[in-house]
Amino acid sequence: MSPPAHGPIGAGHVSGGGGNANATAAQSGGVSPFNFVTFTAFMAWFGGAGYLLTRYSGLWVGFGLLVSVVFGLVGGATVFLFLSRILISEEENMDPADYEMVGVLGKITSSIREGGTGEMVYAQMGTRRVCGARSEDGSAIAKGTEVVVTRYEKGIAYVKLWSEMSGEE
């Protein structure tokens, strides 16, 4: 039985399930219309319209203030809509669980000596990546062997053989 194939090197993700509840909760909310960016846009449009109306028109002050507030609200709403609909896309939010290393399936590209460090290549989020790798039990692992990451610390992936993890012999 072969490992699940995802990409040219057979890299996939083997996980015990679970998930990250905090990441899911953070993604469920959207951008509030009352934020610093929309407030500054409101103030800029309100101030600009107010200045132009008091300087170049003979409008009554109360009516000019009302028109300036309307211009400010339109400006703030325009910036908010641009921010929420165009710049922040629900499909492109980053999820920390997508970059979790534990359970990643990869292939050794530089053999791991006994007690030493080698290199592995794996695919994550559609990109081929490389990182340092060590054997979880300190044994040697040959180049080209498929492995699964069991833990990831300080840029080093600690790996076990895929054949051990899958029950193959």
| Domain ranges, ordered by start, for the chain | 33-92, 96-166
Assign 3-state DSSP to the chain and report helix, strand, coil percentages, each to 5.
40, 25, 35
| pLDDT bucket at 20, cuts 50 / 70 / 90 | very low
Enumerate helices (H) and strands (E) in the chain, giving the number of each. Answer: 4, 5
Q: Stretch 68-93: mean pLDDT, rounded?
A: 85
Q: What is the pLDDT of residues 106-142, one digit of tens each?
A: 999 988 898 888 999 998 888 898 999 999 888 889 8
pTM: 0.47
User: Any residues with CB less than 8 A from the CB of 21 and at least 6 apart, and which?
Assistant: none
Q: Does domain 96-166 have CATH number 2.40.50.140?
A: yes
**Cβ(148)–Cβ(162) below 8 Å:** yes
- Beta strand pairing call for 117-124 and 127-135: antiparallel
Long-range contacts of 142-145 (CB under 8 A, 24+ apart): 142/108, 142/111, 143/108, 143/109, 143/110, 143/111, 143/118, 144/107, 144/108, 145/107, 145/108
pLDDT at 93 over 80: no
Q: Stretch 138-157: mean pLDDT, rounded?
A: 89
| pLDDT bucket at 169, cuts 50 / 70 / 90 | low
pLDDT value at residue 29:
53
pLDDT value at residue 167:
75
Q: Stretch 81-103: mean pLDDT, rounded?
A: 76
| pLDDT bucket at 92, cuts 50 / 70 / 90 | low
pLDDT top residue among 25 and 116: 116
Tell me the pLDDT of the chain averaged across its residues.
80
| pLDDT bucket at 69, cuts 50 / 70 / 90 | very high
pLDDT value at residue 78:
93
